[in-house]
Structure 1
Amino acid sequence: MSGFGFRITDGKAARIDVQDALGCTADLVWVHLSTTAEHAQTWLRDEAKLLDYVVDALTATETRPRCEAVGEGAFLNLRGRSKEELDTSDLLASVRIWAVKGRVFSVTRKPLIAVAEVEKMVERGEVRDPGDLIAAFATAITADLDPDVATLGDELDDCEEQLDANRVFELRRAVSKVRVAAIGYKRFLSPQRAALEKLAALPGDWLADDDRLHLAAAADRAARMAEELESIRERAALIHETLTDMRAEQIDSRSLIISIAAMVFLPLTFLTGLYGMNVKGLPYAEEPWAFDAIAAACVLIAVGVVAYFTMRHWFRR
């Protein structure tokens, strides 16, 4: 089982072993486990003496952002970007946090980018209590996600600038990729905002006023990103419809050209086919000028049909 621990006293942090963290006394003891092993559940229950409900929540396979008050503490599940490439249906990895006064347990199954940033904040002395630690997690996760959401918007802007009927398939793939990512992020950011707001409103002296303000700021940032993702999703849908319309117009235009060509050659085909029959009795078949007359008639018919279509503006796209 991999993980680490910190003991924080008067703002000074010292890294400790996970096993040694259980007997420590300090302003804050933070134990972080990064594992998918089943014995993590046994350790949390038998060694850390956590409630079965809390242990199950910390080690669950499927999770979504939520916050629940349990006794004198609170359980919080957040979602953030991972160092590993995840499935397109589940783009964000989870961190499960159990916090009480003076002690925090966190568990990740996938390497979370925000964990490294929180470690740096702890080592710099910016974390003094459980409220600071949870606020640090919320701030680090939203700060890491914000540029990614902005990038999705920029990619969609590029697609809008490059709208071209000749690049429909390429642009469709790009727009679909952005839309899938936006849907995947929004799926977790909306409940994440609600979880942070609920945590900020929980009673308890282990959450200071400044912690609640930081949580509210992180929730507001998550709400703004969720709104931006909804806007990206709607814009992607509109661009997709525009590309579909452009493709349909392109097909209609080409079909019109083919139809006009067919209309021009239809009477010519009839005339040449008629005089191409190997039968006797065709008018003027024996006359020496018959071929020239038929050729001239074909030219006149073709010019007449084209002139008619031009007058009716059929060649306009």
Structure 2
Amino acid sequence: MTKPIALKPLHALLLDGQGGARDMDAAEINAWRPDQGLAWLHLDYTEPEQSEWLRNQSGLSELVCEALLTENTRPRATLTGDGLLIALRGVNLNPGADPEDMVSVRLYVTPDRIISTRKRRLLSVTSLAEDCRKGEGPANVADFLVQLSGNLVERMGEVVEEIEEELSSLELQLLDEGHSAAIRQALSNLRRQTITLRRYFGPQRDAFSQLQNDRASWLSNDHRLELREISDRLLRHIEDLDMIRERAAMAQDELVSQQSDQLNQRMYLLSLIAAVFLPLGFLTGLLGINVGGIPGSDNPYAFGVFMLILTLLVALQVWYFRRQRWF
């Protein structure tokens, strides 16, 4: 007989059905029975001990184990018997991380047991575990799904709001300061971030739709309505991301327009200067050739007269340019 593994999961909670829960030790985990209440085990699948327990002592099928241990996953919800195999993603709010670097959580949910796995810490799961310990958690497995989904979408909304505020700040800087390399780089990063989030939010909504449609016996109509509301909130976040992306594109277009206007103004100024000095250069070059017969070569007042002629010529050009409204 295989010796039971002294499992040390990230969270091992026995829910009391009233919103509270208590932590279970390794012996209680291995001795747990469905009649004791709803058990929630949250594992780090990169830990060899925890993955071994999942494969050999959890009692789950090989297919479910592989789904809980897979490295790459896409948001989904699949009904297997009376259990649900679910993969969801949450924004990465860990210190020093990029929010668009989404964190995956995999769950296998039955009426009497929840097993979830992750690689990186997900604040939505951590806060749910703390709510359970404080007596403010879910009463049953359906409540658990609704509360976890709500936590994930709520934090997604917070990230979307932060991105929108950042974009508004960049738009004000663009109006006040005009074109700058820093604003251009910030807009590019913001567009990349929204594109990445939009890419992940869409499949997440599809997973919530699957949850609503799957006919799990323990998922009531009220819970389906709550999941639909969560899905609608996620849809609004997706629409906000689309709007942010379009606003960022318009801001980038404005940057390009400002840069083009600045370049055109400078080229226009240089063209005016060249137009003023072109006849002056022609006259000075013509009188500067080293051949006989140059007018005024023997006259001591010739240089002053020539400078006066050049000054009058410049004044005539400026008058003409202003009359034509070239500047």
> Which TM-score applies when normalising by structure 2?
0.89
Corresponding position of 1:178 = 190
Q: Which moved more, 1:71-80 or 1:166-175?
A: 166-175
Say if 2:126 is the partner of 1:119: no
Alignment partners' CA distance in 2, 1:143 and 1:172: 30
Q: Which moved more, 1:14-23 or 1:299-308?
A: 14-23
Alignment partners' CA distance in 2, 1:310 and 1:264: 13
Corresponding position of 2:37 = 27
Task: Tell me the C-alpha RMSD between the 2 structures.
Answer: 2.0
Say if 2:289 is the partner of 1:281: no
The SS at the match of 2:106 is strand
Q: Which moved more, 1:224-233 or 1:206-215?
A: 206-215
Corresponding position of 1:71 = 81
> Aligned runs of 1:20-99 on 2, under 5 Å?
20-25=28-33, 26-82=36-92, 83-86=94-97, 91-99=101-109
Q: 1:195 aligns with which of 195, 200, 207?
A: 207
CA deviations on 1:225-276 (whole Å, 9 max, x unpaired) are: 0110011011111110111011101100111001111111111112122223
Corresponding position of 2:25 = 17
1:289–1:19 distance in 2 versus 1, CA, 3 Å: farther
1:161–1:84 distance in 2 versus 1, CA, 3 Å: closer
Q: 1:302 aligns with which of 268, 291, 314?
A: 314
Alignment partners' CA distance in 2, 1:18 and 1:271: 100
Q: 1:133 aligns with which of 139, 144, 164?
A: 144
CA deviations on 1:104-161 (whole Å, 9 max, x unpaired) are: 1111111111112111222214312211111111111111221221111111112222
Q: Partner letter of residue 29 of structure 2?
A: A
Alignment partners' CA distance in 2, 1:16 and 1:251: 69
Corresponding position of 2:226 = 214
In 1, are the aligned partners of 2:17 and 2:138 still within 8 Å (CA)? no
Alignment partners' CA distance in 2, 1:231 and 1:70: 38
> Aligned runs of 1:262-273 on 2, under 5 Å?
262-273=274-285
In 1, are the aligned partners of 2:194 and 2:245 still within 8 Å (CA)? yes
Alignment partners' CA distance in 1, 2:220 and 2:178: 59
Q: Percent identity?
A: 30
Q: 2:12 aligns with which of 5, 21, 27?
A: 5
Alignment partners' CA distance in 2, 1:87 and 1:9: 36
Say if 2:151 is the partner of 1:143: no
CA deviations on 1:265-299 (whole Å, 9 max, x unpaired) are: 11111212222333332122222221112111211
The SS at the match of 1:167 is coil
Alignment partners' CA distance in 1, 2:245 and 2:26: 43
Q: Partner letter of residue 25 of structure 2?
A: D
Alignment partners' CA distance in 1, 2:26 and 2:235: 35
In 2, are the aligned partners of 1:115 and 1:137 still within 8 Å (CA)? yes
In 1, are the aligned partners of 2:179 and 2:258 still within 8 Å (CA)? no
Moved over 4 A (4+): none
Alignment partners' CA distance in 2, 1:111 and 1:306: 71
Q: CA deviation at 1:311?
A: 1.7
Alignment partners' CA distance in 2, 1:219 and 1:238: 29
The SS at the match of 1:213 is helix
In 2, are the aligned partners of 1:67 and 1:196 still within 8 Å (CA)? yes
In 1, are the aligned partners of 2:79 and 2:214 still within 8 Å (CA)? yes
Q: CA deviation at 1:40?
A: 3.6
The SS at the match of 2:10 is strand
The SS at the match of 1:98 is strand
Q: Partner letter of residue 286 of structure 1?
A: D
Q: CA deviation at 1:39?
A: 4.6
Q: Partner letter of residue 301 of structure 2?
A: W
| Ranges in structure 1 where 5+ consecutive residues have no aligned partner | none
In 1, are the aligned partners of 2:9 and 2:41 still within 8 Å (CA)? no
Q: How many residues align?
A: 314
Alignment partners' CA distance in 2, 1:18 and 1:119: 18
Q: Partner letter of residue 83 of structure 2?
A: G
1:19–1:48 distance in 2 versus 1, CA, 3 Å: farther
1:109–1:195 distance in 2 versus 1, CA, 3 Å: same
The SS at the match of 1:105 is strand
Q: CA deviation at 1:35?
A: 4.3
The SS at the match of 1:127 is coil
